[in-house]
Amino acid sequence: MRQAQQRTFSGAYARRRGQQVHYITERAIFRLTDAGLLLTEIAPGVDLERDVLAHMEFTPIIPADVPEMDRRIFYEETMGLSRRSLMDLDERLVYHAEDNVLYMNFEGLHLDTDEDARELTTYLDRRLAAFGHRVHVIVNYDNVELGPAAEDTFFTMVRHNTEQYFISATHYSTNAFFRHQLGQRFTQAQLGQLIYPSFEAARKGIRADRNRRNAPATLEG
């Protein structure tokens, strides 16, 4: 079918927001990339040519080795997944080199223990150091769950990353109560960072900060 009756989601817009976009069917999973649609997984027992490609009007990007989808998906019993395993950390970071902005998608992330926070700290330190230069960052905090045992390590990480790796940082959450709660925690941790109510507001905030930094100095008197 070449045209849909209604469009409720724009993959291109989501990519501009730094989000990962996946298309999931019962036969295969695809991920939207700058180069096109990438085949990332195929269901067990499915023939790629006969059951997938033959029903598509274009050819996606096909890697040399396409892994199978987790067989537990097709079982009736519970899969035994932890709350934090639904999205890999690698999928939560998207970097736009053209404007030197890193998008961190922490939506739905659960940090219950100090070990959870330390794992995130180690991962981000490695990824951020790999850039070799400072970046602007926009962080999505929608539906983040931060347990008391993880707070000290988490906010120590935020302070370290802000001082070591970021030119500027903006944060947002669309949940008003959580935004207030998170803002209080930032204040208590003496970070004092503003939590915006939307992605667009956060992006405007980072643009304003960039303009202030690039404005020429003036002499008074």
The answer to whether 60 and 39 have CB atoms below 8 angstroms apart is yes
Fold of 89-214: Transcription Regulator spoIIAA (3.30.750)
pLDDT at 100: 92
The answer to whether 138 and 101 have CB atoms below 8 angstroms apart is yes
For 125-151, write each residue's pLDDT tens digit.
Answer: 999 999 999 999 999 988 888 888 998
pLDDT at 60: 94
Which segments of the chain belong to CATH 3.30.750.24?
89-214
Instruction: State the Cα angle at 26 between 23 and 28, rounded to 5°.
Output: 55
Cα 13 from Cα 20, distance rounded (Å): 11
Going by C-beta distance under 8 Å and a sequence separation of 6 or more, which residues neighbour residue 121?
153, 154, 156, 157, 160
Amino acid at 185: R
Kind of pairing, strands 145-146 and 110-111? parallel
Confidence of residue 85 (pLDDT cuts 50, 70, 90): very low
For 15-45, write each residue's pLDDT tens digit.
Answer: 777 677 889 999 999 988 888 899 999 999 9
Cα 19 from Cα 11, distance rounded (Å): 9
Cα 195 from Cα 51, distance rounded (Å): 46
pTM above threshold 0.85? no
Angle 148-164/176-188 helices, nearest 10 degrees? 70
The answer to whether 22 and 15 have CB atoms below 8 angstroms apart is no
